[in-house]
Amino acid sequence: MSLQVLDRQIDGSFDVERIREDFPALAQTVRGRPLVYLDNAATTQKPLHVLDAMRRFYTEDNANIHRGVHSLSQRATDAYECARCVVRRFMNAPDNREIIYVRGTTEAINLVASSYGSIALGPGREVLVTELEHHANIVPWQMACERFGATLRVVPITDEGELRLDTLAGMLSSKTAIVAVGHASNALGTVNPIREICRMAHEAGAAVLVDGAQAAGHLPVDVQSLGCDFYAFSGHKALGPTGIGVLWGRMSLLEQMPPYQGGGDMIRTVSFEKTTYSDVPGKFEAGTPHIAGVIGLGAALEYLMACDRVAMEAHERDLLQYATERLSAINGLTVVGTAPNKIGIVSFVMDAAHPHDIGTIADLQGVAIRTGHHCAMPLMKRLCLPATARASFALYNTRAEVDALADALERVHGLFSGG
Amino acid sequence: MSEFSELYQEVILDHNRRPRNFRVIEHPDGSAVGHNPLCGDEITVYVDMDGDAVRDVTFQGAGCAISKASASMMTEAIRGKSRDEVIRLFDEFHRMVTDDPSALPDVERMGKLAAFSGVCEFPARVKCASLAWHTLLAAIKDGKGIVTTE
Ligand SMILES: Cc1ncc(COP(=O)(O)O)c(C=O)c1O
């Protein structure tokens, strides 16, 4: 089954209808209408390839990993470590050992803020974040700055939702320890110029953490070409299961960093006098990990890599462009976030209707979108908006689904502007 | 529009478009701010009391149609009522928006507020419908306060 899925992805051109068949959750009705799932920035649906891999693990290989001498434990360990190679290939990381499994982007950033923060931050040192960031790339840094006596500074954006690189240049100095920036914004879709930012930060002697939560399922992720020092993403936004994610870090930094959590698996020897720690990545993987999640993540990234990536990106760009056109034509609708370089995310507000009402009325027509502050309250404040409605696309969405969204929004306009 | 009318009844749309008692009371006997952090709704409720009875009640703020209409219709429903009557009405209102959809509201006691009975089919919207009421209770109980739906 899985190979068949993969084979035809490899061979064939990018055929959305056939891709949709791999995602069983898409084939359902909601409130009597065919589901139109446009909340992919929150989490994507999962292909059978992932579900089958996880089921196969639990039905055939389930055992705890490492240290086990029995066959199942060996198979589980192999599958777990094999997935690390898949992740390495997916991110073009230099070394398997630089791939650290975590719960998700949030845990990855907390790990870096806490562990790297303890060696890089202190009084007089600064962390730079941006106005675009998700709370997951703000709050851990606030906590670390408080703990280590460092200062948090915020890089501003333009009204279109682009980072002000000129201002960033002026903010960087020998005091800057860390620049933490999203690869792509979950609220507006803006893709940030990561290579440029890394070059600027490195000139100032700062390390760069990239929050790749929104990029991993949609853009090429090549940590060597990006030039960053840490890269974090969540499996569940890239066709994989929830509860598993990845932190990639440069070996030279990971080696210097103290462990994040203590427990089993992360130690070499334990005595009450002195405990010694495992090498990277074991040092950062305390306790029994989400083994089935790792296997599902590996399967998800295999699936993505087997797709024609160029065609997939072109398809998502087409959806973005088409949705931007269709939605902009609706009376009283304003698209929020108009940076030239975006992933498939359209945030918008409507004159007559609050985002919350837009979301409910869309749902009544089977269209799933997200409404609210998108875990980016400082960004909403910057834009002077309490909330937006957001449609976000993935490889399996279609122009017909954009039409369904536009129709639903026309109904919203009719209902609320009518008198 | 019939498929939306369960929730977005004409009376709700009307109060959303033209909220009643949408003004500030200077030097009120009580006021409170209510937040719904989930959707960014924020409202302030002002009350003036005449002994134990609500003499005047108004609100200000921004929010979705459900929360705005609920606030507007609440101000109309509770004017002249005693604190106990307000609390009893809210209990009933709350049961109506959270209960089994088949439990029909007592239209006689609920009056226009019965328009919100459709909310119970939309659990994500219960907080929108009850925000103004929670805020009102804080205003008439303590005279001031901040409440949140979270
Ligand atoms: C840009 C961004 N960063 C971080 C996160 C947090 O990801 P997770 O909740 O999977 O840890 C998200 C998810 O919403 C996100 O969109």
* Core vs surface per residue A173-185: b (16+ CB within 10 A) or e: eeebbbbbbbbbb
pLDDT tens per residue across span B125-150: 999 999 999 999 999 986 656 676 65
Maximum Cα interatomic distance, chain A, rounded to a whole number of Å: 77
How far does residue B33's CA lie from ligand 1's centre (Å)? 30
In this complex, is the C-beta atom of B150 within 8 Å of any C-beta atom belonging to chain A?
A: no
Structure tokens at B57: 């009640």
Instruction: Choose among A339, A411, A352: nearest CA to A379.
Output: A339
The reported pLDDT for the residue numbered B149 is 64
How far does residue A360's CA lie from ligand 1's centre (Å)? 23
CA–CA dist A101, A245 (Å, integer): 6
- Other beta carbons within 10 angstroms of residue B79's beta carbon come to 14
The reported pLDDT for the residue numbered A12 is 47
Locate the domains of chain B by residue range.
3-148
pLDDT tens per residue across span A55-80: 999 999 999 998 788 999 999 999 99
Partner residue opposite B64 with nearest CB, options A357, A365, A415: A357
Name which of B39, B66, B148 to mutate to probe chain A: the one with the most chain A Cβ atoms within 10 A of its Cβ. B39
Question: SS3 letters for A172-185?
Answer: CCCCEEEEEEECEC
| Residue A105 in contact with ligand 1 by CB distance below 6 A | yes
In the predicted structure, residue A108 carries a pLDDT above the cut 60: yes
Instruction: Choose among A229, A218, A406, A226: nearest CA to A324.
Output: A406
- Other beta carbons within 10 angstroms of residue B53's beta carbon come to 14
Q: What is the mean pLDDT of the segment spanning B10-24?
A: 95
B39 and A356 within 8 Å at the Cβ level: the answer is: yes
Instruction: Choose among A252, A210, A214: nearest CA to A341.
Output: A214
Instruction: Tell me the percentage of chain A whose pLDDT exceeds 90.
Output: 93
CB-CB contact of B139 with B87 (8 Å): no
In the predicted structure, residue B99 carries a pLDDT above the cut 90: no
The reported pLDDT for the residue numbered B104 is 66
pLDDT tens per residue across span A320-362: 999 999 999 999 999 999 999 999 999 999 998 999 999 999 9
CA–CA dist A279, A117 (Å, integer): 19
Kindly list the structural domains of chain A, giving each domain's residue range(s) and its CATH number in brackets, ordered by start.
16-46+308-417 (3.90.1150.10), 53-305 (3.40.640.10)
Q: What pTM did the predictor assign? A: 0.93
What stretch of H or E contains A417?
Answer: helix A399-417
**CA-based nearest residue in chain A for residue B11:** A419
Among the CATH numbers 3.40.50.2300, 3.90.1010.10, 3.40.50.620, 3.80.30.20, which is that of B3-148?
3.90.1010.10
Q: What is the mean pLDDT of the segment spanning A169-190?
A: 98
Q: What is the mean pLDDT of the segment spanning A257-269?
A: 92
CA–CA dist B73, A163 (Å, integer): 44
pLDDT tens per residue across span A267-293: 899 999 999 999 999 999 999 999 999
